[in-house]
Structure formats: C-alpha cells, structure tokens
Structure 1
Amino acid sequence: MTESPILFSGPMVRALLAGTKTQTRRTLKDQPPEWATFCQQPTMLNVLQQWVPSGPWAWSEDEQTPARPLRRWPVNADGEHYWLRPRFSIGDRLWVRETWAPLTYLTHNEPDPQAIIDGGFYRADGGTVDGEVSRWKPSIFMPRHASRLTLIVTDVRVERLQDISEADAIAEGAELSQHPGMDGGVMVKTDVPGVTASPGVWYRWLWDEINDKGAWRSNPWVAAYTFRVIKQNIDQIEREAA
C-alpha cells in the first residue's frame, strides 16, 4: 500500500463530495507501442501488470500442441518485453489535491468557522469567498495537510480510453438528468443549461476539456481506477485509526 497525491478539477471535486464520482481514468505514462497492442486484450494482465495472453490464438512452438500462455509477452524485434504498469494499485490511498487558498489569503471579512477548521478555502465550494481571497493556489501546490478528501483504490483496470462503458461514464461523476433520452436511455446534464447528453458523449467532452481538444480521438491506453471516497484528510484517518 502506498500513499500518493492525485489532482482533480473543481467539477470533479464537487462530484467526489456529492458521492457521484467513484472512478477516474488516467493516461498511462508510457503508451504501449503498436507492436505491443496489436490483437491484445487488456484483461490479460497478471498481478504484476504484465501481459499474459492465452487462448486458442496464443503462440506455440509446435502447431500440434495446445497453445501455451506466454508469461513474458509481447516482445519486439530486439527481444525486449513490454510491461504495463499503472501508477496506483488496489489498496493504495490517494489524497486529493484541488485549488485552494490558506486563511492568510483572505483580504477582508472574517473567515467562517468551517474555514478555520479547514485552515483555508476550497474554490470548488463555490464563489462565496471569490473576490475576498487575494489569489488561489493551483491544485498541484496543495499541501498534504490541506487535503480534505482521501480515496481508497478498490479496483484497477487497463484499457483503451474509448472502451469506457455507459455505466463507467456515469461513475466518472456525471450528473444524471431527470429526463430520459428519446430511446429511454439514461441522460446526463452538461454545462449548457437545458442540454443533456448520453453518459459516453458527456465523458468524451469532459476528457477533451481536461486533456485538450482531440485527446479523445487519440484513444490512449488508460488506467481506470475505482475507489471509495472518505471525506477526511489522510493523516486524520491515520490518527483516528491509531
């Protein structure tokens, strides 16, 4: 088990707080080359996150014998083996970084009791202090002690981005609409008032918004993390468990 920071945007922080976000997808740092991904299935990863293909199409030295699982594969022309290694594993604890400001950044008025308890302000909470805070610290600079959300990783999958299911798109934090689609399917709200979209379309828009236009079309390999949300600082959880 490891402890690591993880960044989230304001809308996704609000989804975590609301309990509607239980998954996140992150692009694998080292994308597999084409020779490593051709005809392969991401479900064939062992506990070490190594490719372990099997089945009737798997290679065997003798065509007369059953195909054998290849324990170190795929391999390129130079004999190099390619391993997929997601950054986080089941059981890891992730402390959320978000846009934040310490109490000393308050320009006027007195901080409310909750801000005093938190030791600062969180921009995802809304604009009640926007204008009263001299500036906001980007999420990447949030210190560990200021984090208010901890995620416990419960599942890890490696897949292509566009393989996301409608159910998984909802688990990514989509806000459901009260009105079903024309085919009766589930619809989710968008940033445009009165406009809804299917969960998959909503997530495609979200991915491009976060990762730049056209990022969805490139269909990278991603690690899909499922987690349990705890609305506490990671160190506070440790103190209470001691």
Structure 2
Amino acid sequence: MAIKPILFNTEMVRAIMDGRKSCTRRMVKPQPNEKHTYPLGFVTDSTEKKDVGCFGFGINEYSGSIQYTKPQYHPGDILYVRETWGHPISLNSDKQYVFRADKIAESGFKNDSHIWHPSIHMPKEAARIWLKVTNVRVERLQDITEDGAEAEGAIDNRGFIHSPENEYDRIYTAREYFIKIWDRTIKKSDLDIYGWDVNPWVWVIEFERCEKPQGV
C-alpha cells in the first residue's frame, strides 16, 4: 500500500462528498504509438522487476513488440484528495483550513473572505477526503458508458431540466456532460493530443471513501 495525493477540481470534490463519484479517468502517459494499440494487460510476473505493475500494449495479441506504461495509482493505494483550500481570515474562526468546495464558501462568505490556494499546493495535513483504490483498468476514453459517466460524477439533468434548481444551460445525458467535464480539464494546446475527439487511452481508477490511515 502506498499513500499518494490526487487532485480534483471543486466540482468533482463536491461529487465525491455527495457520494456521486466513485471513479476517475486519468491520462495514460505516454500514450502507445499508432502501432501498439492492442491492450495486453498488466504485467504480474516478469524477470524484469521494472515491468511488474506496468500495462502492456502490443501490435497484436501475439506480437513480441510491446510498449509498457505504468499507472500512477494501483489497487490498495490510499489517496488523499488535494482541493482548493485556504486559511480563514477571520481571527474568530476556530478552523485551521477552509475549502472552496464547501457551500459556505459560496453562500456564507464573499470570494475574498479567504485567501484561496491551488489544490496542488495543499499539504497532506489539510486533507479531509481519503480514498482507497479498488480497481484500475485501461480503456479508450470514448468507451465510457452512461453508467460510467454517472460514476465519474457527471449529472444526467434530463429529469430536472425545468426545475428551479437546474444549473445547466441545456439538456445533457451524463455521458454528454462528462465530455464537457473532460475537455475542460485539458489545456487548449493539448486538446489535439488528449481531447475527447482524439479518443486517448485512459486509466479507469475506481475508489471508495475510507478513513485517514493511523499514524499519517
């Protein structure tokens, strides 16, 4: 078991806290080249220790030419979520940290009531969300199903498009909304490499909420 950080934006942090998100897709890096597009699976036994835990892509099922890539996360890993955070400005606050994903950050305070820091700079001691990786697999991005998109925290808003609580500007299935979520997380300069239309290979990382490990 390894303890590692993982970054989520505010929308996805809320989805985890609401119990709507139990999966995340992350880019396979490096991507296999155009010849090595046959997924061979994870290496569990090899004379080359560096290959164990890697995923292999072949030219075909029987090819001896293999490209290996290793996921950042493995089943059993414990992850602490890095999210947008800050310190309360109020001297009367008994909190050491505040989080942008909390509704009070929107409704109870003005945006300048806290000094917000990027998630990547959040220290481990501030983490309030802990996850245990239960499964890791590889698939093409566009292979995601409607159920898979819902597990990603994407919302199917067709049932409440006319509701006063509806925050969306059009009707989406969960899968259609996931496409928007994905492309928003990709730098514009990288959309032609990692965007939805390119259909890259991704790690599908499933997880469940867990307690903070003792002694951490």
Taking structure 2 as the reference length, the TM-score comes to 0.80
Task: Describe the SS at the equivalent of 2:86.
Answer: strand
Q: 1:110 aligns with which of 86, 92, 112?
A: 92
Counterpart CA distance in 1 for 2:158 and 2:141 is 27
The residue that corresponds to 1:157 in the other structure is 137
> What is the number of residues matched between the two proteins?
195
Distance in structure 2 (CA, Å) of the matches to 1:191 and 1:94: 30
| Structure with bigger gyration radius | 1
Q: Which residue of the other structure, out of 202, 207, 210, is the alignment partner of 2:182?
A: 207
Indicate the SS of the match to 2:16.
Answer: helix
Cα distance, 1:178 vs structure 2: 6.7
Distance 1:180 1:102 in 2: 36
> Which ranges of structure 1 fall in alignment gaps of 5 or more residues?
60-69, 76-80, 182-188
| Equivalent residue, structure 2, for 1:90 | 75
What RMSD, in angstroms, separates the aligned Cα atoms of the two structures? 2.6
C-alpha displacement of 1:180: 8.4
Question: Match for residue 34 of structure 1?
Answer: 34
How far did residue 52 of structure 1 move? Answer: 7.9
User: 5+ unaligned residues in a row in structure 2: which ranges?
Assistant: 45-52
Counterpart residue number, 1:51? 56
| d(CA) in 1 for partners of 2:168, 2:57 | 45
Structure number with the higher strand fraction is: 2
Paired residues for 1:189-204 under 5 Å: 191-193=167-169, 195-204=170-179
Matched, 1:121 2:98: yes
Q: TM-score, normalised by structure 1?
A: 0.72
The percent of aligned pairs where both chains have the same amino acid is 34
Q: CA deviation at 1:110?
A: 2.6
Q: Which amino acid aligns with 2:182?
A: W
State the alpha-carbon separation in 2 of the partners of residues 159 and 218 from structure 1.
13
Q: Report the secondary structure of 1:197's partner residue.
A: coil
